[in-house]
Every structure is written in structure tokens, then in C-alpha cells.
């Protein structure tokens, strides 16, 4: 398989994972397959992952993560600033995974493949040549 198709697959896989998590928080997935089902449940989960944070900061953290996931998903789908977006996605996933480790132990992020997704995002940032991306329009020739 050629690297440019792997790049497209990585972009779409990461984007869909972000959008699926956000859809869960907004209740778009059926209750029987949802992890949170609504934003309030996600914010309670966020609070359990950052017990060191002041309670008043938790909504900001949960909403910030949600907004970043939507932005990163859109940018990855479009191929806009792909390298930077992939690096930031990897960092967000790594922080999420480490928060899970410190709060729930190593099994939780492994079961949800958080570190695999972070590695995929960082790997995506290394594939330089744009393919089916808006970045191609701004590429220096």
C-alpha cells in the first residue's frame, strides 16, 4: 500500500474516532452503545480523570477537549495544516491517555487504544507529501 493512501486512512480514522466520541457526548449514539450519552456524564468522567483540578475548571477542560476534537477532526478530514493538526491531535490523545493512567491505571487507555491513536497521529505527522488535502493548494512548488 502506498504511503499516500495510508495517510488518508490515518486522517479518516482519527477524525472518525474524534467525531464518534463527540457524538457520544451529545447523545447522538443509542444509549445501549454509549459511553457517556450526554455532556453532563462526560464532565463527571472528566472530573474523575483530573482530581487535582479545581471543580470550577472541569467544565472548561471538558468543553475545551470536545471543541478541539471537533476542530482537529474537521482539519484532518480536509487536510488542512495536516502535520500540525496531527501533532496536536497526538498531544491531546497522549494527555488524555496519561490522565487515564494516573486516575484509573494502565488498563483503561490500553482497552480504548488511546496510546495507539496517539501514535497514529504522531505517525501521520511524519508523512510529508500532501494527498487529497487542502494543504496541496498552499504547497510551495
The rounded mean pLDDT for the chain is: 95
The answer to whether position 18 is within a domain reads yes
Residues 6+ apart with CB under 8 A from 19: 69, 70, 73
Mean pLDDT confidence for 33-42: 95
The answer to whether position 138 is within a domain reads no
The tens digit of pLDDT for each residue in 1-10 reads 799 999 999 9
Question: What is the pLDDT at residue 102?
Answer: 95
Domain that holds residue 76: 3-128
The answer to whether position 53 is within a domain reads yes
Mean pLDDT confidence for 96-111: 96
Contact 15, 73 (CB under 8 A): yes
User: Band of the pLDDT at 141, cuts 50, 70, 90?
Assistant: low
The answer to whether position 123 is within a domain reads yes
Question: What is the pLDDT at residue 91?
Answer: 99
Contact 120, 17 (CB under 8 A): no
The answer to whether position 44 is within a domain reads yes
Q: What's 34's DSSP letter? A: -
Number of separate domains in the chain = 1
- What's the pTM value of the predicted model, to 2 decimals? 0.93
The answer to whether position 116 is within a domain reads yes
Amino acid at each position: 500500500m502506498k504511503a499516500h493512501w495510508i495517510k488518508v486512512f490515518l486522517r479518516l480514522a482519527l477524525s472518525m474516532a474524534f467525531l464518534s466520541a463527540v457524538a457520544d457526548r451529545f447523545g447522538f449514539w443509542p444509549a445501549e452503545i454509549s459511553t457517556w450519552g450526554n455532556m453532563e456524564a462526560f464532565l463527571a468522567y472528566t472530573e474523575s480523570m483530573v482530581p487535582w483540578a479545581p471543580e470550577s475548571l472541569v467544565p472548561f477542560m471538558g468543553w475545551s477537549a470536545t471543541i478541539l476534537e471537533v476542530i482537529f477532526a474537521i482539519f484532518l478530514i480536509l487536510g488542512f495544516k495536516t502535520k500540525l493538526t496531527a501533532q496536536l491531535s497526538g498531544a491531546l490523545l497522549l494527555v488524555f491517555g496519561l490522565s487515564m493512567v494516573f486516575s484509573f491505571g494502565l488498563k483503561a487507555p490500553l482497552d480504548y487504544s488511546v496510546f495507539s491513536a496517539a501514535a497514529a497521529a504522531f505517525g501521520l505527522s511524519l508523512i510529508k507529501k500532501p494527498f487529497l488535502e487542502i494543504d496541496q493548494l498552499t504547497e510551495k512548488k
